């Protein structure tokens, strides 16, 4: 027969194990497994929070970043190298963002970043800093990779789709006008 103290210890151990499992499940549910940044589903919930905050008293920017010629590199060096490139890019983005900024992988080689309390000028500055950080990275440079970015500032009545569309339009303009650049949309 076990003592009450033994049962309490076993219960504490089980509770600790359950907490660890819940933390692991939360991580799986909210983060992209290849890059460690948020996944698109969780990112959209953070976006909705920033949207409500901006509707009351502020602004924010959405930055859409795409790796230039990633498909070619992926096809040449393989998917394992491609995954390493995605992971390294995410690390560089996280390292170059401000503390309150939030990044997510939106599929393929596209990343979205929310810049809270940032106007277009601040959005451009952050995106340029990230672009230059990618240019300086030895691993990405070895594979000839650069990024293009589109920046759009929140406007009253924006939704995720309207703001993402403007940022995407800016990204496509960056791609059409030579890549490895940042374009800002009003």
Catalytically active residues are 109
CA dist., res. 168 & res. 162, Å (int): 10
Q: Under a CB-based contact definition with an 8 Å cutoff, are residues 170 and 151 in contact?
A: yes
Q: Is the dihedral of CA 151, 109, 30, 99 positive or negative?
A: negative
Task: Give the orientation angle of helix 79-96 with respect to helix 70-77, to 10 degrees.
Answer: 140
CA dist., res. 10 & res. 23, Å (int): 20
Q: Is 138 exposed, middle or buried (0-12, 13-18, 19+ CB in 10 A)?
A: exposed
């Amino acid at each position: 027969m076990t003592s009450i103290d033994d049962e309490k210890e076993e219960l504490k151990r089980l509770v600790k194990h359950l907490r660890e499992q819940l933390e692991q499940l939360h991580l799986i549910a909210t983060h992209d497994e290849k890059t460690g940044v948020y996944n698109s589903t969780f990112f959209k919930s953070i976006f909705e929070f920033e949207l409500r905050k901006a509707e009351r008293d502020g602004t924010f920017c959405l930055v859409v970043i795409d790796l230039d010629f990633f498909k070619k590199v992926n096809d040449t060096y393989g998917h394992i190298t491609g995954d390493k490139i995605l992971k390294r890019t995410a690390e560089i983005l996280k390292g170059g963002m401000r503390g309150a900024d939030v990044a997510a992988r939106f599929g393929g080689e596209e990343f979205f970043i929310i810049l809270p309390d940032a106007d277009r000028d601040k959005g451009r500055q952050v995106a340029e800093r990230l672009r230059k950080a990618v240019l300086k990275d030895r691993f990405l440079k070895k594979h000839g990779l650069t990024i293009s970015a589109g920046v759009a500032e929140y406007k009253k009545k924006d939704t995720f789709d309207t703001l993402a569309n403007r940022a995407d339009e800016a990204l496509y303009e960056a791609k059409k006008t030579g890549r490895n650049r940042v374009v800002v949309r009003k």
